[in-house]
């Protein structure tokens, strides 16, 4: 694939909702439906993030149509077949999915949702894959990246990357179950546990086991979330395997997207914290793909609106206010690393524990910024 480069602005921008959108590839313009243009220009997935990316977050971040797929937080499998309520908790989108539906769960705006499983017991994972499939799941993902000590102590997530043979056994058991029902199984890998020596062996093991696509978070478990992400290692994996590889890790801006694609050679990417920091990131990338133009920086008012809508949804779901406040702080904490206004706002609200006051402060602080006043009227909701 040729390196992806920024191009001179052109005037053929089409709204994302347009049934016919335009794209550019290596300087050549073409048009098609969003799905065909997205897959020709490079798909964009939303990364699974336990404790952060729940159904409400998926709904909010996928609403503008710029994402191609989302992944649930992991469902942890030990040895038992889990009851349906566990799958519904992780993937509430299943509640509106007919069992046996060809499409599987989707966000309210229609973006497909993949269910992620984490575990090390091939038999138990296959049994739970069957359970998920019986409830309507059409795409499964296997987690080989979780760095959490409790998970790794119990032999799940990244700890399996120490033994490619075990990666193979887990993937092949679940892929067998998937094949029986025409359900695709993907694997999400880091580059290794302590070092990168087994990066290619693990990717090849996942492919031989039957994974149809690999998502590679370009860091080892030991590297945690520390920059840099080693996108060039994804290129090594991509050239070693025959299945599509999706690049993941440290894509925070449009420029990061170009670099990640150029260095990894991957067409498709998965965005994690970058989407929380800038809810327009996928839309920004999509807009550039389709028009060659850059979108303006995301205004604070958009970030604030996303936080308020999230609070509103969680409140409607019956979550206690103090938990909503801590989720909002967690999200704002990711935003503040990348945006000066969010950083100042975080300082202003960091000690607040009451939801109504927290939201008032968010608003009161926001009114000092002229760009925020325009959208204030749209956000009248406040907890009683
Ligand atoms: C809070 C948090 C929770 C995460 N939970 C999961 C998870 O449930 N499953 C998974 O495969 N990866 C998980 N990840 C890893 C992300 O999916 C992603 O690979 C990683 O954050 C790198 O991408 P980014 O730099 O774009 O955030 C998590 C990451 C974070 C920061």
Catalytic residues: 146
pLDDT digits (tens, 9 = 90+) for 143-153: 999 988 888 77
Which residue owns the Cα nearest ligand 1 atom 29? Answer: 49
Q: Give CA–CA dist 99/227, Å, rounded.
A: 42
Ligand 1 centroid to residue 119 C-alpha, Å: 16
pLDDT for 362 equals 86
pLDDT for 244 equals 98
Q: Which residues on adjacent β-strands are paired with residue 220? A: 192
Helix axes 231-240, 254-264, angle to 10 degrees: 40
Beta-carbon neighbour count of residue 17 at 10 Å?
9
- pLDDT mean over 194-211: 98
pLDDT for 368 equals 62
Ligand 1 centroid to residue 225 C-alpha, Å: 9
pLDDT for 25 equals 66
Whole-Å CA distances, 111 to 44, 61, 137, 307: 11, 10, 13, 21
Split at pLDDT 50, 70, 90, the class of 89 is very high
Which helix (H) or strand (E) element contains residue 324?
helix 321-336
**Ligand 1: which atom is nearest the Cα of residue 251?**
26
pLDDT for 36 equals 72
Split at pLDDT 50, 70, 90, the class of 228 is very high
Q: Give CA–CA dist 15/293, Å, rounded.
A: 13
What's domain 21-291's architecture? Alpha-Beta Barrel (3.20)
Report whether pLDDT(16) > 70.
no
Split at pLDDT 50, 70, 90, the class of 126 is very high
pLDDT for 101 equals 75
Please report the sign of the dihedral spanned by the C-alpha atoms of residue 337, residue 334, residue 117, residue 98: negative
Which residue would you say has higher pLDDT here, 303 or 367? 303
Split at pLDDT 50, 70, 90, the class of 141 is very high
Across the chain, mean pLDDT equals 88
- pLDDT mean over 188-209: 98
Residue 210 among known ligand-binding residues: no
Q: List the single range of 158-162, 277-281, 307-311, 365-369 with lowest mean pLDDT.
A: 365-369
The 8 Å CB, 24+ separation contacts for 231-237 are 231/259, 231/260, 231/263, 231/264, 232/263, 232/264, 233/191, 233/196, 233/199, 234/263, 234/264, 234/265, 234/266, 235/263, 235/264, 235/265, 235/266, 236/199, 236/200, 237/199, 237/200, 237/203
Ligand 1 centroid to residue 49 C-alpha, Å: 5
Q: List the single range of 59-63, 199-203, 378-382 with lowest mean pLDDT.
A: 378-382
- pLDDT mean over 290-294: 90
| Nearest one of 65, 78, 1, 6 to 33, comparing CA atoms | 65
Task: Count Cβ neighbours within 10 Å for each residue of 118-135 and write b for 16 or more, e otherwise.
Answer: bbbbbebbbbbbbbbbeb
Q: What is the share, in percent, of the chain residues with pLDDT greater than 90?
A: 74
Which residue would you say has higher pLDDT here, 20 or 114? 114
Residue 104 gets the label, from left (phi > 0), alpha (psi -120 to 50) or beta, of left
pLDDT for 8 equals 31
Residue 249 among known ligand-binding residues: yes
pLDDT for 153 equals 78
pLDDT digits (tens, 9 = 90+) for 52-81: 999 999 999 999 999 999 999 999 999 999
Q: Give CA–CA dist 72/276, Å, rounded.
A: 15
CB of 156 within 8 A of CB of 150? no
- pLDDT mean over 291-318: 93
Q: Give CA–CA dist 62/66, Å, rounded.
A: 7
Report whether pLDDT(233) > 60.
yes
Split at pLDDT 50, 70, 90, the class of 98 is confident
Where do the structural domains in the chain lie, given as residue ranges? 21-291, 300-378
Report whether pLDDT(11) > 50.
no
Task: Report pTM.
Answer: 0.89
Report whether pLDDT(377) > 50.
no
Which residue would you say has higher pLDDT here, 23 or 71? 71
- pLDDT mean over 209-238: 97
pLDDT for 382 equals 64
Q: How far is CA 228 from its chain centroid?
A: 19
Ligand 1 centroid to residue 47 C-alpha, Å: 6
**Pocket probe mutation, ligand 1, options 44, 46, 49, 52, max atoms within 8 Å of Cβ:** 49
Report whether pLDDT(294) > 80.
yes
**Ligand 1: which atom is nearest the Cα of residue 273?**
27
For residue 5, the SS3 value is coil
CB of 148 within 6 A of ligand 1: the answer is no
DSSP-assigned letter for residue 97: S
Beta-carbon neighbour count of residue 261 at 10 Å?
22
- pLDDT mean over 342-352: 91
For residue 93, the SS3 value is helix
Q: Give CA–CA dist 18/122, Å, rounded.
A: 44
Which residue would you say has higher pLDDT here, 104 or 18? 104
Q: What is the share, in percent, of the chain residues with pLDDT greater than 70?
A: 86
Report whether pLDDT(30) > 80.
no
| Nearest one of 82, 73, 155 to 121, comparing CA atoms | 155
Q: Give CA–CA dist 152/146, Å, rounded.
A: 8
CB of 143 within 6 A of ligand 1: the answer is yes
């Amino acid at each position: 694939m040729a390196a992806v480069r920024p191009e001179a602005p052109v005037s053929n921008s089409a709204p994302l909702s347009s049934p016919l959108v335009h794209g550019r590839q290596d300087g050549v313009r073409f048009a098609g439906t969003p799905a065909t243009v997205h897959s020709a220009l490079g798909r964009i997935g939303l990364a699974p993030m336990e404790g952060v990316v729940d159904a409400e977050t998926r709904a909010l971040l996928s609403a503008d149509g710029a994402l191609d797929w989302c992944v649930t937080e992991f469902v942890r499998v030990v040895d038992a077949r889990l009851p349906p309520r566990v799958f519904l908790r992780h993937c509430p989108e299943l509640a509106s999915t007919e069992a046996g539906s060809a499409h599987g769960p989707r966000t309210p705006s229609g973006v497909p949702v993949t269910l992620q499983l984490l575990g090390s017991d091939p038999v138990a994972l296959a049994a739970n894959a069957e359970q998920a499939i019986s409830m309507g799941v059409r795409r499964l993902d296997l987690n080989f990246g979780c760095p959490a000590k409790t998970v790794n102590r119990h032999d799940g997530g990244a700890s399996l990357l120490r033994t490619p043979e075990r990666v193979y056994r887990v993937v092949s058991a679940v892929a067998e179950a998937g094949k029986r029902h025409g359900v695709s199984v993907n694997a999400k890998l880091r580059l290794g546990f302590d070092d990168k020596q087994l990066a290619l062996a693990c990717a090849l093991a996942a492919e031989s086991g039957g994974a149809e696509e690999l998502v590679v978070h370009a860091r080892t478990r030991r590297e945690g979330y520390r920059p840099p992400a080693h996108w060039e290692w994804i290129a090594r994996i991509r050239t070693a395997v025959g299945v599509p590889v999706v690049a993941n890790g440290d894509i925070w801006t449009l420029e990061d997207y170009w670099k990640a694609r150029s260095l990894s050679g991957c067409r498709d990417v998965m965005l994690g914290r970058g989407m929380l920091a800038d809810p327009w990131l996928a839309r920004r990338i999509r807009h550039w793909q389709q028009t060659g133009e850059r979108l303006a920086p995301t205004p604070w008012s958009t970030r604030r609106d996303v936080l308020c809508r999230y609070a509103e949804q969680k409140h409607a779901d019956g979550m206690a206010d103090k938990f909503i406040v801590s989720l909002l702080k967690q999200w704002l904490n990711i935003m503040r690393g990348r945006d000066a206004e969010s950083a100042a706002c975080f300082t202003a609200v960091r000690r607040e524990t009451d939801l109504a006051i927290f939201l008032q402060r968010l608003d009161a602080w926001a009114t000092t910024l002229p760009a925020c006043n325009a959208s204030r009227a749209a956000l009248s909701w406040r907890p009683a």
